[in-house]
Structure 1
Amino acid sequence: MDGPLRHRAVRFLRARPRVLLRLAGWSVLEAGQTFLLGYALARALDGGFLSGRAAVGLGWLAVAGAGVLVGAYGTGRVYRAVAALVEPLRDRLVTRVVGRGVREGDGGALSGLTQQVEIARDTFAGLVMVARSFLFTSAGALAGLFALAPPLLLVVLPPLAAGVGLFAATLRPLARRQEEFLAADEALAERLGVVCPGLRDVSAAGAEDRIAAHLAEAAGAELRAARSLARWGVIRVVCLALGGHVPVVLLLAGAPWLLAHGTTPGALVGALAYVTQSLLPALSGLIHGLGTSGSRLTVVLRRLAPPGEPAGSPGEPAGSPAEPTGSPFEPADRAPALPFPRPAAPADVTPPRPAAPALSLTSVTFAYGPASAPVVDDVSLELPAGGHLAVVGPSGSGKSTLAGLVAGLLDPGRGEVRVGGRPVAEAAGWRVLVPQEAYVFGGTLAENLAYLRADPVPGDEMVAAAEAVGLAPLLEGVGGPQGVVDPAALSAGERQLIALTRAYLSHAPLALLDEATCHLDPEAEERAERAFAGRPGGTLVVVAHRISSARRAERVLVMDGPRSAYGTHAQVLRRSALYRELVGRWEPSSQPALPLRDADGVDAVAGPGLAGDGRHVVAHGPVGQVQAARDLRDGGALGREG
């Protein structure tokens, strides 16, 4: 591990003294077990079986057995302490990876989140276990050797120290070779990824030899890196032989000298037990674990936390997830680690010009590939500050894609998106996106609700927001803002209400609700939408789950490819045949074929092919698609578009 990562790791450990003390305390039990292993065996032989007192020997063996049971109990508690040390590191890594992926559009963020973070978490846990085991096992074994006969240390300690020292000297070059091998392997995989889909073109162009030479160069580089790594791996065998096997040979070869200088036969057998049953396995675990996993952890951390980033000062938070700085080893005590960025405080953002619209799209086009048909096709609109827009359309029409473009998660292939008069990339603090799958983390309800605020949120403001959005029953049920919530125990609707209230409390004037109320009943959905629409200075964009959301909105955008329409409800009804199909015929004098119980109090008449389920019209379902009553989950044809 290089200097910067080492210093950050030390700061990370220093910030958790109680966990380290608990880990050390339970590890002492294992050290006691190690001590009793050889000491009790020596006493059983010298004072018991070799002296003709079998009962004494059996008693010492019983003591050794009791030590094993106590050590096993300590080992079980050690795993809990290791989890308390490892999980904060994983949370920091997740925050960094997702924050960088959202902020920079890092294409490797998914790989980092699903593979590299888990590798780092598991590897770090393994390293803590093997390093701790070697440290306390060696202490117990060496203490036992000294208690049995001090000359035994003269035989065992020098080769053990030499093996550990040689291994420590190989760690840095071994990590470099490991990183070179991984880089060569990724380079070869990248070239194969480019060549394999075009093999027919290669054959048609007669370029087999040229492509083969191109791939052979990358394969040769990986082969050289693998051989170099293997040569350094041989040194690990030498270290293990020197530190773990040579002491056994020296004990056997020096047995006559040891016995002549006061070492008892039982002490000699106990020393052999210490070396073969304790020191050798602990050293083997250290060399194989730290030699392979340690270098892998160093490589992964370098990629997840580049050393060039500022490290911050010891003992201070490493910055907000929106602008992650330093190493993942830095403590994050200011707020729980979450896989989404914290918006900038209002003071960090220059207010837009008063005349600027809250949202403007100019000929925005987006496709998920150069050969793919546009999902968003030449959409232009302006939404004034304080406006309320509903986005409707069938599944796959690009509603969620449009929300991603407005949120800055996607870049348009053509056109421009501006929020508050400025490019969307510069308006991070001016919009907040609430997706369909609401994220709630373990902790107090207040911590969940205040996460998008850089400034403290007064309790009365939090309660008022919960009342406005519809979270008050849950707030009362958990005992107020300081009540602890368990995400697994919450329903999907309760999680959505928490996410909605969190966004409501944010300073972002533009709220994007991407089917964020799909798990709520129509009345709760109406209450939440009206709360957002009534926020002072707030602008609301709703990806509609029910047609009643469009009826409540001042403006409607129908996503229908090149036939998309934008305007008031009446204007869009005239311009868009798709919208007319979604809405049906609104004739109060007619008897409704389906009692829709619209939240606006209007009895809808289901026109031909109108999608309905006896409770509401699905604004994004394909014509003729019927959704099961009270089942508001997205699925099948009614699922979200890509």
Structure 2
Amino acid sequence: MNRPVRRALRRDPRLLVRLAAWSVAETAPALVVGLAVARAIDDGFAAGRPGTGFAWLAVLAAAWLVGAAGARQVVLAVAAIVEPFREDLLGHVVESALDRASAAGHGPGSAAVARSNLQVELARDAFASVITVVRSFAFTVVSVVLGLGALVPEVLVLVLPPFAAGVGLFLLSLPAMARRQREFLLADERTAGSLAAAVGALRDVTACAAEDRVAASVGARVAEQAAAGRSLARVTALRTLSLAVGGRLPVLLILAGTPWLLSRGAGAGVVLGALAYVTQSLAPALGNLVQGLGISGVRLRVSLDRILRPDVPPGPASPALPAAAERPTLSPEGHAPSPGPVAPPYGPAAGRVAARNVRAELRGVVFAYGPHAEPVISGLDLSIPEGDHLAVVGPSGIGKSTLGALLAGVLRPGAGRVEVGGVPADRLDPACRVLIPQEAYVFRGTLWDNLTYLAPASREEVDAAAREVGLTALAERLGGYDAEVSSGALSPAERQLVALTRAHLSPARLVILDEATCHLDPAAEARAEGAFARRGGTLVVIAHRLTSATRARRILVMDGTSVRLGGHSELLAASPLYADLVGHWNPATPQEPVL
């Protein structure tokens, strides 16, 4: 890992000479500051010669101007060294990514792009910082030693021993500090990766009822990073101690040794000049070294490690989402379960109750989307016996989907009660009911995983459900049940077929289709609804087309002020709204009013 750094520094020796020359100019204030202060006081203002005092201050000001010009050129010289270093790393990343892609038979992945855009930039910035602080420290120390020697050599006895002790203490603690800093950076990277995976999979997490497991997984990453931070903080105390010994103790020794310095012929200006050397040059240089090597040096090492050895994982990592289902099912070919979201446990979920039947009862139900909003449903009484096939119709936005969500327990009524089998709907075990919304859910994984997510099933059971619902042709086109699918790779109609087949295979005896067939053509819709009607249990269809109502045993018409329940012929005579909807429907054409 040191090879790219050595190659960058040896590439053009003239750049190093140029950097050194401008570093001398940059550290001119460090050489002059104490001497100028001492002479301005002792030879100028204290001696009654203010002109001499101001002349020495002018020398110091000129040194600052030279230092500013030198600092600008140092930045350019460092850039001339660092930019080729960056290009070398970028070339290595591209070549490695292309080699791996060629061997794997596909294009470079996003990891290579991330390394080229993030890790290379981090390495470049860290390398520049390390060069800057190490160079500045070395030239500043030399300048201060020369300045103190020219000022009063005796003061070196008070300054150099504690300064050397502070530097030595820092260098001794550097390996442990670097190790802890690296552990913290990698823990931070794992935490960020875990959080990104969890946020990107929130829909998967909710659909799989994996909130507690994901929270525990991400929480473990956060706890790991917190522990790494505490460990780093303990080692950082040594860094603080080295700064105190090397940068603050010399100040105390100069002050305590002032009588001795005065006895050696030093004046008040010399003492102040020595203090200026320590406080304005030596202590800041040590602080920059500690900060630069302790953070940027470690960052450089970690970044180079990730660039030059990209296939080595940063440490033990567990994914934000569980890797595979916990239930002992087999794939359609009899293999071990393929990776996918965790299936819900069988039997009642924690805090949920399994109902003896799925008879639904709504009594005095009121629901509004907000404390000051008009109720979407007001005073609704409805009984749906087990085995019923109910279609819900009405204008768009009238509350049909809200009714479906209340039956499924997704929403709680503001007043009244909603029960299924005598159990409040929001406490009903999820295995007893299934709700399919208009936007069908398909997670990334195999088709088999998607179909058997709600219940284990044999190949024969899956084949039978696929034939019933109308999924067989799609499964064959995809390449069988082992084919990888994702939401973006399927059309809305195809996603609905997958979700319908999944629900058909589930143990739920209450099925709520909330416009779950709206993307299917009328023939496919009729086939799917017929499959659920023959399946048994209670079927509630929030209708998108009027044909869904004509296939139902009973029809609930919602018009915003009241509801009517009955059969097709009965409602034609009793419900003007239903009669109007039927009047706009021509069975000879596929065009129907949107309900």
What is the TM-score with the length of structure 2 in the denominator?
Answer: 0.50
Is the contact made by 1:32 and 1:67 (CA closer than 8 Å) also made in structure 2?
A: no
Alignment partner of 1:534: what SS?
A: helix
| Alignment partner, residue 382 of structure 1 | 383
| Alignment partner, residue 399 of structure 2 | 398
Is the contact made by 2:557 and 2:565 (CA closer than 8 Å) also made in structure 1?
A: yes
Residue 480 of structure 1 deviates from its aligned partner by 0.7
For 1:157 and 1:503, locate their aligned partners in 2 and report how far apart those are by CA, in whole Å. 70
Q: 1:596 aligns with which of 583, 587, 590?
A: 587
For 1:407 and 1:617, locate their aligned partners in 2 and report how far apart those are by CA, in whole Å. 28
Going from structure 1 to structure 2, the CA distance change for 1:461 and 1:74 (only over 3 Å counts) comes to farther
Cα displacement string for residues 253-306 of structure 1 (whole angstroms, at most 9, x for unaligned residues): xxxxxxxxxxxxxxxxxxxxxx89x959836979xx9xxxxxxxxxxxxxxxxx
1:618 paired to 2:589: no
- The structure where helix makes up a greater share of residues is 2
| Alignment partner, residue 541 of structure 1 | 540
Cα displacement string for residues 11-61 of structure 1 (whole angstroms, at most 9, x for unaligned residues): xxxxxxxxxxxxxxxxx5xx6433422354569979xxxxxxxxxxxxxxx
Where does 1:466-615 land on structure 2 (aligned, <5 Å)? 466-535=466-535, 537-584=536-583, 595-597=586-588, 614-615=589-590
Is the contact made by 1:357 and 1:382 (CA closer than 8 Å) also made in structure 2?
A: no
For 2:425 and 2:377, locate their aligned partners in 1 and report how far apart those are by CA, in whole Å. 17
* Counterpart code for 2:587: L
| Alignment partner, residue 423 of structure 2 | 422
Alignment partner of 2:580: what SS?
A: helix
Going from structure 1 to structure 2, the CA distance change for 1:370 and 1:131 (only over 3 Å counts) comes to same
| Alignment partner, residue 435 of structure 1 | 437
Unaligned 5+ segments in structure 1 are 1-27, 47-61, 81-124, 146-153, 176-231, 247-274, 290-313, 323-332, 586-593, 598-613, 621-642
For 1:345 and 1:387, locate their aligned partners in 2 and report how far apart those are by CA, in whole Å. 26
Going from structure 1 to structure 2, the CA distance change for 1:573 and 1:78 (only over 3 Å counts) comes to farther
| Alignment partner, residue 407 of structure 1 | 408
For 1:458 and 1:43, locate their aligned partners in 2 and report how far apart those are by CA, in whole Å. 74
Going from structure 1 to structure 2, the CA distance change for 1:129 and 1:595 (only over 3 Å counts) comes to same
| Alignment partner, residue 33 of structure 1 | 4
* Counterpart code for 2:470: G
1:352 paired to 2:343: no
Alignment partner of 2:476: what SS?
A: helix
Is the contact made by 1:364 and 1:379 (CA closer than 8 Å) also made in structure 2?
A: yes
Going from structure 1 to structure 2, the CA distance change for 1:316 and 1:559 (only over 3 Å counts) comes to closer
| Alignment partner, residue 365 of structure 2 | 364
The Cα RMSD (Å) is 5.4
Is the contact made by 2:366 and 2:379 (CA closer than 8 Å) also made in structure 1?
A: yes
Is the contact made by 2:434 and 2:511 (CA closer than 8 Å) also made in structure 1?
A: yes
Residue 487 of structure 1 deviates from its aligned partner by 2.8
Going from structure 1 to structure 2, the CA distance change for 1:538 and 1:75 (only over 3 Å counts) comes to farther
Cα displacement string for residues 377-433 of structure 1 (whole angstroms, at most 9, x for unaligned residues): 222222222211111000121001111111212110111111233111221221111
Alignment partner of 1:415: what SS?
A: strand
Going from structure 1 to structure 2, the CA distance change for 1:131 and 1:363 (only over 3 Å counts) comes to farther
Alignment partner of 2:442: what SS?
A: coil
Alignment partner of 2:366: what SS?
A: strand
Going from structure 1 to structure 2, the CA distance change for 1:484 and 1:320 (only over 3 Å counts) comes to closer
Which has the larger Rg? 2
Where does 1:323-342 land on structure 2 (aligned, <5 Å)? 336-337=340-341
What is the count of residue pairs matched by the alignment? 363
Is the contact made by 1:345 and 1:507 (CA closer than 8 Å) also made in structure 2?
A: no
For 2:339 and 2:359, locate their aligned partners in 1 and report how far apart those are by CA, in whole Å. 30
Is the contact made by 2:322 and 2:341 (CA closer than 8 Å) also made in structure 1?
A: no
Is the contact made by 1:465 and 1:504 (CA closer than 8 Å) also made in structure 2?
A: yes
Alignment partner of 2:449: what SS?
A: helix
Is the contact made by 1:564 and 1:576 (CA closer than 8 Å) also made in structure 2?
A: no
Is the contact made by 1:366 and 1:374 (CA closer than 8 Å) also made in structure 2?
A: yes
Alignment partner of 1:345: what SS?
A: coil
Is the contact made by 1:34 and 1:137 (CA closer than 8 Å) also made in structure 2?
A: no
For 1:373 and 1:76, locate their aligned partners in 2 and report how far apart those are by CA, in whole Å. 60
Alignment partner of 1:541: what SS?
A: strand
What is the TM-score with the length of structure 1 in the denominator?
Answer: 0.47
Residue 334 of structure 1 deviates from its aligned partner by 8.3
| Alignment partner, residue 451 of structure 2 | 449
Is the contact made by 1:346 and 1:429 (CA closer than 8 Å) also made in structure 2?
A: yes
For 1:79 and 1:133, locate their aligned partners in 2 and report how far apart those are by CA, in whole Å. 19
For 2:383 and 2:587, locate their aligned partners in 1 and report how far apart those are by CA, in whole Å. 32
Cα displacement string for residues 143-166 of structure 1 (whole angstroms, at most 9, x for unaligned residues): xx9xxxxxxxx9988647569959
Where does 1:20-419 land on structure 2 (aligned, <5 Å)? 32-40=3-11, 68-75=86-93, 159=170, 282=296, 336-337=340-341, 343-346=344-347, 352-353=355-356, 356-419=357-420
For 2:88 and 2:124, locate their aligned partners in 1 and report how far apart those are by CA, in whole Å. 18
Residue 369 of structure 1 deviates from its aligned partner by 2.3
Alignment partner of 2:454: what SS?
A: coil
Going from structure 1 to structure 2, the CA distance change for 1:315 and 1:477 (only over 3 Å counts) comes to closer
* Counterpart code for 1:391: V
- Report percent identity of matched pairs: 40
